[in-house]
Amino acid sequence: MWALITGASSGIGYCYAEELASLNYNLILVSNEERPLAEAANRLGRQYGVESRMICTDLTAADAADSLYATCREWNIRIEILINNAGMYRFGETLDIDRNFTTNMIALHTLTPTRLCILFGEDMRKQRHGYILNMSSITAWLAYPGINVYGATKRYLKNFSRGLHTELSDYGVYVTAVCPGAVDTNLYNLNIKLRRHLVWLGIMMPPKKLARKAIHALLRNKAVFIPGILNRFLLPFILLIPHGFIRWVARKSGILPL
């Protein structure tokens, strides 16, 4: 059994790989960080006794998905679990963020995952078995100032995954959109002390805990999974917040100009 995980050299992606290795899945780890990726592959292979291969590539490239798929075909590897986890983030107003960064984020969060779902999903449908996990976000439900493009790409992933789940479930292929709130990783560039405090308060979730719960939801064929009781409780109230109030808060906090 083989699983392919993007963004697997660290953070949530590494935790996904570790969780699947503990379930005796062989791994294909994908990232653009060559040294951490090699260290992760070697560590997981030794610790869990599974075969662990690495592919170092830029997932924002137009041909990234096709290249990954071709490599798996060359290796004669059938992927049973595909995890589209790779992501990037930058806080700031839409027009102020570097255009190349925004273009790469759109490619990484939408174009490459969609193509990977199509390529590996076709094989899974033929075999009438497989799992796909796409990392969305709680921000998929509301357009926030400062993370506008990020939230929009995550909304696409959530909706795309939900529709794909419906299309493929009759073939024994299940797609799960995982929509966490804040996770204790380096993505937000917060200091360690603050991150520990946020985890203690339940505002941030440890990545290992998220990975364990998300894989459990995936293997239970859940279409959309929102980890964390606090996130599930607050979501209906978040949807009721008018955008005028959001704009007022953003101006008071300095996110938007007065």
Helix axes 34-48, 11-22, angle to 10 degrees: 20
| Count of CB atoms situated within 10 Å of the CB of 7 | 26
Residues catalogued as catalytic:
150
Q: Any residues with CB less than 8 A from the CB of 120 and at least 6 apart, and which?
A: 4, 69, 79, 82, 130, 132
Contact 12, 135 (CB under 8 A): yes
Three-state SS for 2-63 is EEEEECCCCHHHHHHHHHHHHCCCEEEEEECCHHHHHHHHHHHHHHHCCCEEEEECCCCCCC
CB atoms within 10 A of CB 123: 18
Residue 207: is it exposed, middle or buried by C-beta count within 10 angstroms (0-12/13-18/19+)? buried
Q: Would you state the structure tokens that stand for residue 191, as one six-digit string? A: 């200091």
Distance from C-alpha of 97 to C-alpha of 140, rounded to nearest angstrom: 20
Contact status, residue 168 vs residue 198, Cβ threshold 8 Å: no
The structure tokens listed for 139 are 């921000």
